[in-house]
Amino acid sequence: MSTAALPDTTPNVGPTRTPAFEKRLAKRYRAERNFRLLGLSAVVFSVAVLVFLLGNMAINGIAGFQRAEMTVSINLPATQISADAAQLDTPEAMLWLKKQNLAEAVQLEAEMQLGKAGAAQLSPDAWRDVAAAIIDDPTLLGRTASFDLPATSAMAAALRGDGPPETRALAQRLADEGKLANNWDWGFLARSDATSPQAVGIWAALKGSMLTMLVTLVLAFPIGVLSALYLEEYAPKNRWTDIIEVSISNLAAVPSIIFGLLGLSVFLWLFPNLRSAPLIGGMTLALMTMPVIVISGRNAIKAVPPSIRDGALAIGASPVQVVFHHVLPLALPGMLTGTIIGMARALGETAPLLLIGMRAFVATPPDGFTSPATVLPMQIFLWSDEIDRGFVERTSAAIIVLLVFLLVMNGLAIYLRNKFEKRW
């Protein structure tokens, strides 16, 4: 009897784990697993898209760094071209060689070695490569030399297996004879825009990008750093500084194309002669980059502990000395990191530059801040309009160059952040 009076604890646990409970629990655990799997697949999908994007560009781009070239050996003494070193040093050397029928001589040799049909597929500008080689090394004129000369776009397509069957057969024959091959084309980095994918290069766009970035940096960095210093260290809390802060955070979120509209209606109105010049492009991008630098700069300044300021003030430094001798040097690495990230964004920007007219066909590299130029993203955009097959690879190759630049910049920013990160 007494044992029955004792409270029994076990039944209270047992009935809760009823079959219904077990079922619910299993369902909950299943939901847990599914949810986790869903999260994992979201991450995997995003990474897969990135890998696909980069892989796609890389595979196409590697072909873009190559071009179809035909091998022609030219007996230069037999062409009777004469030139001494002094003549070849002048800017008119190319013209001088053309006057002596270098182009015809190259064509004649090509016809003998490649046959009439093959020589017809030699790029009409092929002689320029020979001329450039002669200008580089005048001793070539005294011997027989073998040149890898660019083929036409049609021939390049045929080598890839596109185009009419007879051209394909010709390409196949020449390739089998070792006279036609896809060669590594370092000239792609050194040449400028052209109408044929076989002759294009990205140097003009690259130089334009560098000049534009230089203008952006020179304008945006000082203005950004100085206004970050003012807002974080000196600004009184009043309506004016509120307006400044609000306009900076708004500017950071304004679509880039709006900056293009501003550049178009203000900068091009002030300087109508500088259409598509790096100066105007840089000014427009600087306005866009400045807020990014201000925001990151303020965070870097905030990270400097107040004790540093108090210490300097306590030994008699003026507020300006506190900031310029103590706070700024400590905050500078953080500011630089933000600046590099802002510059990387500006480097990849296309839309505002499209509006201020940097979409012109520029076949010569810009020689200053005021001459017409194009930038790397714009070159990619312009080439992507060419449906010509040969431009697909070239565009991807240009994208690779752009992405490499961006990765290097971002890598530098991460390196700087890790190197200078301080724990106070």
Partner 1 sequence: MSPITLILIALGLGLVGWLAGRAKAWGFQTGDAAERPASRPVYHAWYVALWVVLPVLGFVVVWSVLSPQLVMQAVLASPAAQDLPAMAFERDAFLGEARAVALGQAPGVFNDDAEALIAPFREAIAHYNSVGVMVTVLIALAGGALAFLRLKPQFGARTRVERTVMAVLLVASLVAILTTFGIFASLVFETVRFFGIVSPVDFLFGTKWGPDTTASPDAVDPTRYGAVPLFWGTIFIGAIIAMIVAIPLGLMSAIYLTQYADPRVRTWIKPLLEILAGVPTVVYGYFAALTIAPAIRNAAVSLGIASASTESALAAGIVMGVMIIPFVSSMADDSMAAVPGAMRDGSLAMGATKSETIRKVLFPAALPGIVAGIMLAVSRAIGETMIVVMAASPAANLTANPLEPMSTVTVQIVKLLTGEQSTDHPATLSAFALGFVLFMVTLALNFIALRVVKRFREAYE
- Report the site for partner 1 in 256-315 (rule: CB under 8 A): 256-259, 261-262, 264-266, 270-271, 273, 287, 290-291, 294
Comparison of 76 and 262: residue with beta carbon closer to partner 1: 262
Comparison of 333 and 348: residue with beta carbon closer to partner 1: 348
Terminal alpha carbon distance of the chain: 72
Instruction: Give the residue, chosen from 17, 21, 24, 53, that forms a contact with partner 1 under the rule CB under 8 A.
Output: 53
35 binds partner 1 (CB under 8 A): yes
Comparison of 271 and 420: residue with beta carbon closer to partner 1: 271
Instruction: Give the residue, chosen from 50, 59, 189, 214, that forms a contact with partner 1 under the rule CB under 8 A.
Output: 50
Comparison of 67 and 359: residue with beta carbon closer to partner 1: 359
* 256 in Cβ contact with 356 (< 8 Å): no
* 157 in Cβ contact with 170 (< 8 Å): no
User: Least CB distance from residue 17 to partner 1, whole Å?
Assistant: 13
* 262 in Cβ contact with 284 (< 8 Å): yes
380 binds partner 1 (CB under 8 A): yes
**Cα–Cα distance for residue pair 206/304, rounded to 1 Å:** 38
Comparison of 35 and 186: residue with beta carbon closer to partner 1: 35
Binding mask 381-420 for partner 1 (x = CB under 8 A): x--x-------x--x---x--xx--xx--x---x------
User: Least CB distance from residue 68 to partner 1, whole Å?
Assistant: 22
Comparison of 31 and 189: residue with beta carbon closer to partner 1: 31
Please name the residues in contact with 249: beta carbons below 8 A apart, sequence gap of 6 or more.
291, 295
Instruction: Give the residue, chosen from 26, 42, 59, 404, that forms a contact with partner 1 under the rule CB under 8 A.
Output: 42
**Cα–Cα distance for residue pair 102/129, rounded to 1 Å:** 11
For the chain, the three-class secondary structure string (H helix, E strand, C coil) is: CHHHHCCCCHHHHHHHHCHHHHHHHHHHHHHHHHHHHHHHHHHHHHHHHHHHHHHHHHHHHHHHCEEEEEEEEEEHHHHCCCCCHHHHCCCCHHHHHHHCCHHHHHHHHHHHHHHHHHHHCECCCHHHHHHHHHHHCHHHHHCEEEEEEEECHHHHHHHHCCCCHHHHHHHHHHHHCCCEEEEECHHHHCCCCCCCCCCCCCHHHHHHHHHHHHHHHHHHHHHHHHHHHHHHHHCCCCHHHHHHHHHHHHHCCCCHHHHHHHHHHHHHHHCHHHCCCHHHHHHHHHHHHHHHHHHHHHHHHHCCCHHHHHHHHHCCCCHHHHHHHHHHHHHHHHHHHHHHHHHHHHHCCCHHHHHCCCCCCCCCCCCCCCCCCCCHHHHHHHHHCCCCHHHHHHHHHHHHHHHHHHHHHHHHHHHHHHHHCCCC
Instruction: Give the residue, chosen from 21, 22, 40, 99, that forms a contact with partner 1 under the rule CB under 8 A.
Output: 40
Only segment of 109-117, 155-163, 203-211, 369-377 that touches partner 1 (CB under 8 A): 369-377
User: Least CB distance from residue 20 to partner 1, whole Å?
Assistant: 17
Instruction: Give the residue, chosen from 26, 31, 78, 214, that forms a contact with partner 1 under the rule CB under 8 A.
Output: 31
**Cα–Cα distance for residue pair 135/116, rounded to 1 Å:** 28
Comparison of 178 and 236: residue with beta carbon closer to partner 1: 236
Q: Which of residues 215-234 bind partner 1 (CB under 8 A)?
A: 222-224, 226-227, 229-231, 234
Comparison of 190 and 266: residue with beta carbon closer to partner 1: 266
255 binds partner 1 (CB under 8 A): yes
Comparison of 62 and 354: residue with beta carbon closer to partner 1: 354
User: Least CB distance from residue 360 to partner 1, whole Å?
Assistant: 11
Comparison of 148 and 349: residue with beta carbon closer to partner 1: 349
46 binds partner 1 (CB under 8 A): yes
User: Least CB distance from residue 367 to partner 1, whole Å?
Assistant: 9
**Cα–Cα distance for residue pair 291/391, rounded to 1 Å:** 37
User: Least CB distance from residue 277 to partner 1, whole Å?
Assistant: 11
Q: Which of residues 329-358 bind partner 1 (CB under 8 A)?
A: 344-345, 347-351, 354-355, 357
User: Least CB distance from residue 406 to partner 1, whole Å?
Assistant: 6
32 binds partner 1 (CB under 8 A): yes
Comparison of 142 and 269: residue with beta carbon closer to partner 1: 269
User: Least CB distance from residue 151 to partner 1, whole Å?
Assistant: 24
